[in-house]
Chain A
């Protein structure tokens, strides 16, 4: 049994299990809420319940006072939903967030193609227009798999009736295995979206650095295609990381863009090229390619990171040591079931990192 909790003013939606606290569920699902002590004594995580019922849990009477209880305030670190909830938290809405409503779609698979030995591209025709911001993702309902699976949209928003997804086959992953092995052209899937806070902060005029690893190329691809289509003049740098040449997909697309758009720069990096690749480009991890290109000085940029958690982690460290900080770093982590197993204590130092 779980409840759906909508967090205003951003509209993020999280699933909270029976007996789980709102804060725990939010942090595990990548939604940041203010918090400090984590056990009901400090009140940093106080939120207002707008709709629904919640058990206040072990909130200290000094941290959550009677008048506040009467007003429907709860502490997210110890409150447990008793129904679906809408809560209002002390968090900021990004001025660049368009807030397109989440809609249900039916998608018909029109094409599937190997992009690399482990990644397939899927193209769907949608039954209605999908309004989204480049960088956001959709959820797919996969037959026989409980819950939904999230995939970032790789096409640009102006192609609103198609949906391009890049899917890496996760070893032992039920959803990605089904997509790779079972899904046939002509079949339909239930899709919902758009979701997520990963999008280009266009109101910020700083040059943009995109760092992508594996199938995490999808979001940056959409973002870059969108910016270039709009005639955006800022400098755009795409660092694409892959293990070897065969895994480096869509290279021709970006080399073509680089020839046509003087403000677009494409820097592929292979961390383990094969001898037969005869690789002349950057050898090493993708964050190292960025460090080399910018001589370890990243301030004055916006950075967008998309890919597996270890890549994101290494990239954040590289960027911060190069003097670019949380407010200018945006990311989408591609978690798989395997990533969730290593839980660690979180400090309250960063909001989103």
Chain B
């Protein structure tokens, strides 16, 4: 055999393990106080297998080249006035939603991995988290840069991070990550690295990136590809985390299962935003939300959970309660009827789009949802474009308005509630109620935007002041129907229409 040269594994081991040190005057346990806090048992950190072998010098080299490529494309995009090449101005609203709902999560992920990585006694896990933390910071920056071009031409992009922290529907993604980051370090990894990055990430990125490609948005497609080239590390970290925890001690199995159940359900509810984007916001459709769920969760997830069954892990609880048949319609209807309070525009689907929805949802669209849109159309034609006067009731756990229906009855809104220390709390589903029951002291602290408005913590007294002064929306420009909006008027002027 040829002379032994160090293989990548040994090289990487030498480059990372030696970053660790022994504690001479302090107890190791005190240095890593959260490691046992959740009940997870780690018997041997040396069994951690590095999910990727990338050293810092190689990392900077790779990332620098990616950036050069990416920014060259951003420049070309800007110089060509490529905002004019998107299908129609409705598409831009999907990007507004991405910037306000998703990009801040990349920043939260950066913070989360930096904090979590610190908590592990094993140096391999620490280095992996550090690397992902830097990746996430790169992602948020490239996304801001990509979308800043649209900010010059369209409304609603001006103060995305401020809005992320305050706007009622953006508390859904924000509270998702707040929940993960305020959990223990192992739950954070199961929540974000495994449940989100590995199991559900394709349902977020592929629809947005393909949606961008189908609608002429080269800048978004490109930051998507650039980010995807980092995602591999994140996905393999998610897999290693789950294997490592399950193999370290059998007492970890029920804890991991509980977290998978929780974070799968939280993730599925959160992704209803993507479903709405795919089914209603993209002028050129890629596939329906139901189809995407079939490809990216049922097929890919099915294979994964078949393998996980060997560890005694079963499919996430509530998987049969995910209502891919209904959620996108119900959510877009809610956004449409609250369109005066959204930081993006809403609209009634066109006749062609409704036919597409009938074809994709043959059992349900014509029966339950088309009649609503026909009514909305009629009201609009009569000069009464409908905006609800009420503020929605929110689920204490996922913070989504109570807009989803019962699994067995799409005409009945799903409500659950429970009383804790004399207070009644409301939930959208069994899943969200059970999550509350596991950690009531955590969720009683939920910052529910509608409650906060009523308590007077968001300015006011009227909704208009909340929207303009507290949220920072430009009323009449950022919100309301796309019809007659400044976005639409400018677009028509650029295109020489009317």
Q: Which A residues have a C-beta under 8 Å from some C-beta of B?
A: 9, 34, 36-37, 41-44, 60-63, 65-67, 90, 92-93, 99, 316-317, 320-321, 323, 325, 344-350, 353
Interface residue B129 (Cβ < 8 Å from any Cβ of A): no
The reply to whether A62 and B229 contact each other, CB–CB distance below 8 Å, is: yes
Known contacts A65-B62, A321-B310; 10 further A-B pairs (Cβ under 8 A): A37-B232, A41-B231, A61-B225, A67-B65, A93-B7, A321-B311, A345-B300, A348-B236, A350-B307, A353-B310
**Which chain A positions have C-beta within 8 A of B247?**
325
The reply to whether B250 and A323 contact each other, CB–CB distance below 8 Å, is: yes
Q: What are some 14 contacts across the A-B interface (CB < 8 A)?
A: A37-B228, A42-B228, A44-B232, A63-B228, A63-B229, A67-B65, A90-B7, A90-B9, A93-B7, A316-B310, A344-B303, A345-B299, A349-B307, A353-B310
B367 to chain A, nearest CB (A): 33
Instruction: Tell me how many residues of B have a C-beta within 8 Å of chain A.
Output: 37
Interface string of B392-420 (1 = CB under 8 A from A): 00000000000000000000000000000
The reply to whether B302 and A61 contact each other, CB–CB distance below 8 Å, is: no
The reply to whether A43 and B232 contact each other, CB–CB distance below 8 Å, is: yes
**Which chain A positions have C-beta within 8 A of B312?**
321
Other-chain contact of B8, A65, A66, A90, A320 (Cβ < 8 Å): A90
In angstroms, Cα B242 to Cα A48, docked, is 29
Main secondary structure on B side of the interface with A = helix
The reply to whether A61 and B69 contact each other, CB–CB distance below 8 Å, is: yes
Most buried by A among B66, B243, B299, B310: B310
With A42-B232, A90-B53, A92-B9 in contact, is A62–B225 under 8 Å at CB? Answer: yes
With A37-B228, A42-B232, A61-B69 in contact, is A320–B310 under 8 Å at CB? Answer: yes
In angstroms, Cα B50 to Cα A92, docked, is 13
In angstroms, Cα B300 to Cα A264, docked, is 43
**Which chain A positions have C-beta within 8 A of B364?**
none
**Which chain A positions have C-beta within 8 A of B300?**
345, 347
Interface residue B304 (Cβ < 8 Å from any Cβ of A): yes
Interface string of B294-313 (1 = CB under 8 A from A): 00000110111011111110
In angstroms, Cα B231 to Cα A92, docked, is 23
In angstroms, Cα B70 to Cα A247, docked, is 64
The reply to whether A62 and B228 contact each other, CB–CB distance below 8 Å, is: yes
The reply to whether B69 and A317 contact each other, CB–CB distance below 8 Å, is: no
In angstroms, Cα B300 to Cα A321, docked, is 23
A289 to chain B, nearest CB (A): 19
A77 to chain B, nearest CB (A): 11
Main secondary structure on A side of the interface with B = loop
B58 to chain A, nearest CB (A): 11
- Smallest CB-CB separation from A38: which chain B residue? B300
Q: Which B56-105 residues sit within 8 Å CB-CB of chain A?
A: 62, 65-66, 69-70
Other-chain contact of B232, A36, A61, A67, A93 (Cβ < 8 Å): A36
**Which chain B positions have C-beta within 8 A of A349?**
239, 242-243, 304, 307-308
Other-chain contact of A99, B1, B225, B239, B311 (Cβ < 8 Å): B1
- Smallest CB-CB separation from A92: which chain B residue? B9
**Which chain B positions have C-beta within 8 A of A93?**
7
A319 to chain B, nearest CB (A): 9
**Which chain B positions have C-beta within 8 A of A41?**
225, 228-229, 231-232
The reply to whether B231 and A42 contact each other, CB–CB distance below 8 Å, is: yes
The reply to whether B7 and A36 contact each other, CB–CB distance below 8 Å, is: no
A165 to chain B, nearest CB (A): 28
**Which chain A positions have C-beta within 8 A of B465?**
none
Interface residue B235 (Cβ < 8 Å from any Cβ of A): yes
Other-chain contact of A42, B7, B62, B229, B250 (Cβ < 8 Å): B229
- Smallest CB-CB separation from A61: which chain B residue? B69
Interface residue B485 (Cβ < 8 Å from any Cβ of A): no
The reply to whether B304 and A60 contact each other, CB–CB distance below 8 Å, is: no
In angstroms, Cα B239 to Cα A349, docked, is 6
In angstroms, Cα B300 to Cα A346, docked, is 8
In angstroms, Cα B228 to Cα A44, docked, is 11
The reply to whether B303 and A347 contact each other, CB–CB distance below 8 Å, is: yes
**Which chain B positions have C-beta within 8 A of A67?**
65
In angstroms, Cα B65 to Cα A125, docked, is 60
The reply to whether B302 and A345 contact each other, CB–CB distance below 8 Å, is: yes
Other-chain contact of A347, B7, B65, B236, B304 (Cβ < 8 Å): B304
In angstroms, Cα B1 to Cα A345, docked, is 36
In angstroms, Cα B309 to Cα A321, docked, is 9
Most buried by B among A9, A34, A63, A316: A63
Interface residue B175 (Cβ < 8 Å from any Cβ of A): no
**Which chain B positions have C-beta within 8 A of A348?**
235-236, 239
Interface residue B323 (Cβ < 8 Å from any Cβ of A): no
The reply to whether B69 and A62 contact each other, CB–CB distance below 8 Å, is: yes
**Which chain B positions have C-beta within 8 A of A43?**
229, 232
In angstroms, Cα B311 to Cα A350, docked, is 12
Give the top 6 A-B pairs by smallest Cβ distance, nearest first: A42-B232, A347-B304, A62-B229, A345-B303, A320-B310, A44-B232
In angstroms, Cα B309 to Cα A317, docked, is 8
The reply to whether A36 and B308 contact each other, CB–CB distance below 8 Å, is: no
- Smallest CB-CB separation from A320: which chain B residue? B310
- Smallest CB-CB separation from B65: which chain A residue? A65
